[in-house]
């Protein structure tokens, strides 16, 4: 079987995470992704330890997390020769991904307007912190700052503690994924129009978009939601619970699951209690209800409680560290950990019935392909 995007040519003028994540995803899907690097290479090659060492190449694990499957060419497009090389690459390209600051490529003649003259069918994806328009467009965008500005940190963390960021640069990763969706949509439109176009992707736009139900909670009520720690603002019991030897997650999604949980914890009287009858009742009386449930979960081990929940059809799961994640039998069965020429990697999460991913090479050595 072939990969879905075989035959597509992608030029990546991107570094750090959001742009390279988009490029890696396209490469996994079969596109030929040419990563154009400055003579010193993508900044993240140095973002270690840890490092992956291959012969004379020593690049950080961070770099390898988002550059799999690409070829690497070194071009200094500050020079006329370098600019000409990029334009030559673009002549027959389908997609270009760049994440320079607003106007950063125009001075080299590598902006959309200039390259559209070279290739009118080019899908040109610009990834910035704040987009091509608006009062913040000139600012550099960093995931941490975007997590704060977007409201994501205001709803993450314990109510009486500091706002917290996510443990992964989620606005970069989400922007990379949304960028892939955008360029594929533009390619589909190109089939009808014959024309390429400019795609304007902003980390802040993406981060605000993925506030999801929390954003709608505010727009519906006019009251900004706060930090809720490990419980769900709209659903309960749906949070981390103490056990005798640690913690697990119990996430009931309906009244039936809640009632079965009460039975499992020998709290059958709570099933029909007026304070906890419906989800709305339980949300309103959450502190008292959670205290009753927690007193019982704390008497049981993690394994005992997880087994009981599994047997009764109550959604529950462990809180794994990375070693436990990659040792999990289901993660193993799904083939999420891969190795390419001795370099470990994490598979993209696509599983097709009539196609396969193009997992053929690890991240490139600097300038490996020209």
Catalytically active residues are: 172
Residues 6+ apart with CB under 8 A from 48: 59, 60, 61, 62
C-beta neighbour count of 107 within 10 angstroms = 9
CA distance 175 to 97: 12
Residues 6+ apart with CB under 8 A from 158: 227, 229
Q: Which is nearest to 33 in space by CA: 6, 54, 58, 51?
A: 6
Helix, strand or coil, per DSSP, at residue 44: helix
Are the CB atoms for 247 and 302 separated by under 8 Å?
yes
Q: From the centroid of its chain, how far is CA 12?
A: 19
State residue 267 phi and psi, 5-degree precision. Answer: -120, 45
Q: How many residues does the chain have?
A: 370
Residue 175 to residues 143, 223, 251: CA-CA distances in angstroms? 10, 27, 28
Q: How far apart, in Å, do the first and last CA atoms of the chain sit? A: 29
State the SS3 of 260-321.
Answer: HHHHHCCCHHHCCCHHHCCHHHHHHCHHHHHHHHHHHHCCCCHHHHHHHHHHHCCCEEECCC
Helix, strand or coil, per DSSP, at residue 102: coil
CA distance 162 to 49: 28
Are the CB atoms for 52 and 27 separated by under 8 Å?
no
């Amino acid at each position: 079987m072939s990969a879905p995007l075989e035959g597509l040519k992608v030029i990546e003028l991107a570094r750090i995470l959001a742009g390279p994540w988009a490029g890696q995803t396209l490469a996994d899907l079969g596109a030929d992704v040419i990563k154009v690097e400055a003579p010193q290479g993508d900044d993240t090659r140095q973002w270690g330890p840890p490092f992956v060492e291959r012969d004379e190449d020593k690049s950080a694990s961070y770099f390898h997390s988002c550059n799999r499957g690409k070829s690497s060419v070194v071009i200094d497009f500050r020079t006329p020769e370098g600019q000409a090389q990029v334009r030559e690459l673009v002549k027959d390209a389908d997609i270009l991904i760049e994440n320079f600051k607003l106007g950063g490529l125009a001075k080299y003649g590598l902006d959309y307007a200039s390259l559209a003259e070279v290739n009118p069918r080019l899908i040109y994806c610009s990834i910035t912190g704040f987009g091509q328009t608006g009062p913040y467009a000139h600012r550099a965008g960093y995931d941490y700052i975007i997590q704060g500005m977007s409201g994501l940190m205001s709803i993450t963390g314990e109510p009486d503690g500091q706002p917290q960021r996510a443990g992964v640069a989620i606005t970069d990763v989400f922007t990379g994924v949304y960028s892939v969706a955008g360029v594929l949509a533009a390619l589909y439109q190109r089939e009808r129009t014959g024309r390429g176009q400019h795609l304007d992707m902003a980390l802040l736009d993406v981060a605000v978009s993925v506030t999801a139900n929390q954003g709608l909670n505010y727009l519906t009520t006019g009251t900004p939601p706060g930090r809720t720690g490990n419980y769900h603002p709209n659903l309960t019991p749906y949070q981390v619970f103490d056990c005798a030897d640690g913690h697990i997650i119990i996430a009931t999604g309906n009244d039936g699951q809640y009632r079965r949980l009460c039975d499992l914890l020998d709290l059958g009287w709570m099933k029909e209690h007026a304070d906890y009858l419906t989800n709305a009742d339980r949300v309103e009386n959450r502190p008292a209800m959670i205290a009753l449930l927690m007193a019982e979960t704390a008497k049981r081990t993690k394994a005992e409680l997880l087994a009981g929940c599994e047997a009764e059809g109550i959604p529950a799961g462990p809180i794994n560290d990375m070693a436990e994640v990659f040792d999990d039998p289901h993660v193993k069965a799904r083939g999420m950990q891969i190795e390419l020429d001795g370099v470990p990697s994490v598979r993209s999460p696509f599983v097709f019935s009539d196609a396969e991913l193009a997992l053929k090479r690890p991240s490139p050595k600097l300038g490996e392909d020209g």
